[in-house]
Amino acid sequence: MYWSSRLLRSVVCICCQTRQTETVIVVHNRQRRRRSKQDPPQMRIVLLGWSVSENSHVGNFILGRAAFDSEAPPDVVERVAGRLKDRHVIIINSPQLLQTNISDHQITQTVRECVHLSDPGPHVIVLLLKHEPCSAEDQERVEKVLLSFSERVYQHTMVLSTREPIWFLLQ
């Protein structure tokens, strides 16, 4: 079973696929209105994924430098700031949230920490998924974690799906 359309219906999807030596990124995005014509002075991003190393590699790729430690313990929420072009970027790496061995209380506490570290809250949540079948339990876990952020979380979620190990694509 693949990720349900209910979970992904209003989410920006990015799929990375490797074809020999080139990487193709396909973006599917809903049309939406902007309230402001100016970009915010900073961008706050939360990384959600199953693997500490994949989250770290994506965070490092966005910042263009080795800012996250791929060997960090999975229960540590990291916040790193940097610049991307002329914009201040804050990335919060929360690798433990999708693990099945954490309690609902730990999920709530970690989500609160992510929101606090990205005060007043994240602009975007990047959900890192492997492009492979998943269990119903995995889908329920992702939905539960996302809905812990807010009821409107799907309007702020981007899915990054890969066929290859992410470290290979981002080198």
The token pair at 40 is: 């915010």
Residue 88: pLDDT above 60? Answer: yes
List, for residues 20-32, the tens digit of each pLDDT value: 334 444 444 444 5
pLDDT attached to residue 95: 72
Set out the domains of the chain in order of their start, with CATH numbers: 41-160 (3.40.50.300)
Between 125 and 129, the more confident residue is 125
* Dist CA 126 CA 120 (whole Å): 17
Between 140 and 36, the more confident residue is 140
Average pLDDT over residues 136-154: 89
pLDDT attached to residue 80: 93
Pairing of strands 42-48, 12-19: unpaired
Average pLDDT over residues 147-156: 90
pLDDT attached to residue 70: 76
- Identify the band that residue 165 occupies on the pLDDT scale cut at 50, 70 and 90: low
pLDDT attached to residue 133: 77
- Burial label for 30, CB within 10 Å (0-12, 13-18, 19+), is exposed
The token pair at 145 is: 């974690």
Q: What are phi and psi of 61, to 5 degrees?
A: -65, -45
* Dist CA 51 CA 119 (whole Å): 24
